[in-house]
A and B are shown apart, each in its own frame.
Chain A
Amino acid sequence: MATLEVRSLTKWYGPVCGIEGVSFALERGEIFGYLGPNGAGKTTTLRCIMGLIRPGGGEVLALGEPVVSGRATQHERIGYLPGEFRLWPAFPARRSLRVLASLGRGDRAQPRRRQLAERLELNLDRPVGELSKGNRQKAAVIYAFQHQPELLILDEPTGGLDPLVRQTVLDLIREAAHQGATVLLSSHDLSEVAAVCGRAAILRAGRLVEMGPVSKIVQRGERRLKVWFVDGALAPPVPLGQLPGVRVIEQQPGLLHLAYQGACEAVLRWVAQFPVDRIATPETSLQEAFIEYYKTPAGDTGSTPKGDP
């Protein structure tokens, strides 16, 4: 049984589409990346999952129970990190975190909170208003992880953190998943998603346009080919009309850097006509794949993702 199941989730803000027909399911112990630019609907999805806003259609099952808006469904077992984390500025972080942890069946998070604060090197006794942006984000991470939840809903958890702390947070996410927690990680940072997530989904204008293993998403984007010609040979002009899906990234005397979609057979056959010294296939990053999805006009892909259901 899936730990988190989102079925045809739809939310409209008046005439504006927040999300439409979003569906995915997360298994126990999985780290799932949720990608999309600003305004794509990531936060709307997360808030619907948390029951903070009422969806217009569809349903969410969290830890086996249907989520009802405003009813705090299974919230004791869920860790949530909102995109904008704001605590009461006049109070020490420790007091605010304790109050929030106490909602439910009492504060049983104290040892874990202390442990997390030590690991993230955060002084919890300082008033939140005096904390830097990075330190407030550390408090946000402690807030989400302190009660050792079975399901983590994280909206850009490493925003504003320095690279070292960022690494610690990614380690925390991996450790939680290793211990059986399921993680939904919404992020702008594609390298972070590539580093920790097994699967990911890409959201555009409120609709899922891609979903599947991160490695497959990367492959579905453009692929690269670098060709060096033997000394003295100039790179030939590329017959783009005969090679559909191919574009030239860089062309220098003796070097041709191409991007292509689909199979490479036609490109290689064309290249083989010339005196080639060596060929390299640079790996496409998730970022490049992501950008590719956003180059395509929005109407080209429907709400049904190409990847796994």
Chain B
Amino acid sequence: MRHRVPFPFALLRFWGARILPIWAFIGLVIFLMQIAVCAIVHDNASVKTFLNFLDVLPSFIKTALGGEMLQAGNVPGLILIGYQHPLVLFLYLLFAVGVPTTLLTGEVQNGTMELILSRCATKTQVYVCAGVLTMAGMFALVLVMFLGTVAATRLYDFGQPIPLDLFFRIAVNGGLVAGAAGSIALLAAGVLAGRNRAVAVTVAVLVLDYFAWIVAQWWPRLGFLKPATLFYYSRSIKLATGWPLGDMGVLLLVILAGCLIGGVVWQRRDLPL
């Protein structure tokens, strides 16, 4: 008679406690970053100086920070700089790549995965633990980002109402983009042997994806690349009018496909214990 193996909540708690400090640090920086951006944006004189400065720089930099939405008077567009800032994106990337590779390939490489799997925990359950922590962590970071915006609207007077519902939609959609990035990392961690290889492949894929998105916006002849990038599915124009269900569906599919393929390969392959 085959009995069910209970879910290893102890492992989930243990891993959760291990990644909590780095999550808290990244969350704090992202939170403060939103407040800092809002602090700059609420002052019209600073904004005009900043936009004039952006116009002097190569145009792709303005594209990377929000493109044509960056105009004096368009406060929501300016606040969005904090959501697309390279530092913020780097921190997301750090978490998305670091967590699954540390929890899966890292434990294999350190020899502790052999101990975990020799106890009451199936390979699939271990993979699910890493997946849950990656996805939950990424979504929580996006919510922290939104909370930063909410806090900033209480701290500063922008002279016009700030549509927090828009920022909430952007945050939820951004959570799906972040989750998709996490699922790519999870896939790499499930498929590849060795933490360095998994990190290198994930970073390469995500950086390429990011630059493809920037270049495709900036250079119309490469516009056909846009739908192949993750950031394409977090279009502010669509988000401004309501929930972009089609884009969210694509992102959900990417998340599901990444997690599922990674999980199946992880379950079937012999780990290099």
Interface residues of A (CB under 8 A from B): 47, 50-54, 65, 70-73, 75-76, 78, 80, 82, 84-88, 99-107, 143
Contact = CB atoms under 8 A, between A and B. Distances in A.
A50 B120 CA distance: 11
Interface in B134-167: none
Nearest to B268: A54
B271 A72 contact: no
A52 B121 CA distance: 11
A82 B120 contact: no
B49 interface: no
A70 B117 contact: yes
Given A70-B123, A102-B10, A75 B118 contact: yes
Interface in B1-35: 1-2, 5-6, 8, 10-11, 14
Contacts of A52: 114, 117-118, 271, 273
A71 B4 CA distance: 9
A54 to B, nearest CB: 6
Contact of B10 (A50, A84, A103): A103
Contacts of A101: 119
A100 B8 CA distance: 10
A71 B118 contact: no
A72 B121 contact: yes
Given A84-B111, A87-B115, A88-B112, A103 B120 contact: yes
A71 B122 contact: yes
Contacts of A76: 119-120
25 contacts: A52-B114, A52-B271, A70-B123, A70-B124, A70-B267, A71-B123, A72-B119, A72-B121, A75-B118, A75-B119, A75-B121, A76-B120, A82-B115, A82-B118, A84-B111, A85-B115, A99-B10, A99-B11, A99-B14, A100-B119, A101-B119, A103-B11, A103-B119, A103-B120, A104-B5
B120 A72 contact: yes
A80 B118 contact: yes
A72 B115 contact: no
B116 interface: yes
B5 to A, nearest CB: 5
By CB atoms of chain B within 10 A, which of A50, A80, A103, A106 has the most?
A103
Contacts of A99: 10-11, 14
A234 B14 CA distance: 75
- Please name the 5 residue pairs, one residue from A and one from B, whose CB atoms are nearest each other, closest first: A104-B120, A86-B111, A102-B10, A70-B123, A103-B119
Nearest to A68: B2
A81 to B, nearest CB: 9
DSSP class of A's interface residues: helix, strand, loop or mixed?
loop
Contacts of B268: 54
A86 B119 contact: no
Contacts of A50: 117-118
Contact of A86 (B112, B118, B270): B112
A94 to B, nearest CB: 13
B273 A47 contact: yes
A86 B6 contact: no
A65 B3 CA distance: 10
Given A54-B270, A72-B120, A87 B114 contact: no
Contacts of A51: 117
By CB atoms of chain A within 10 A, which of B8, B114, B267, B268 has the most?
B114
Interface in B254-273: 267-268, 270-271, 273
B110 interface: yes
Given A86-B111, A86-B112, A87-B112, A75 B273 contact: no
Nearest to B121: A103
A107 to B, nearest CB: 8
Contact of A104 (B14, B117, B119): B119
Nearest to B9: A102
Contacts of B267: 70
Contacts of A65: 1-2
A86 B122 contact: no
Contacts of A104: 5-6, 8, 119-121
B107 to A, nearest CB: 9
A141 B123 CA distance: 24
A235 B123 CA distance: 67
B110 A86 contact: yes
A105 B5 CA distance: 9
A103 B125 CA distance: 11
A183 B160 CA distance: 75
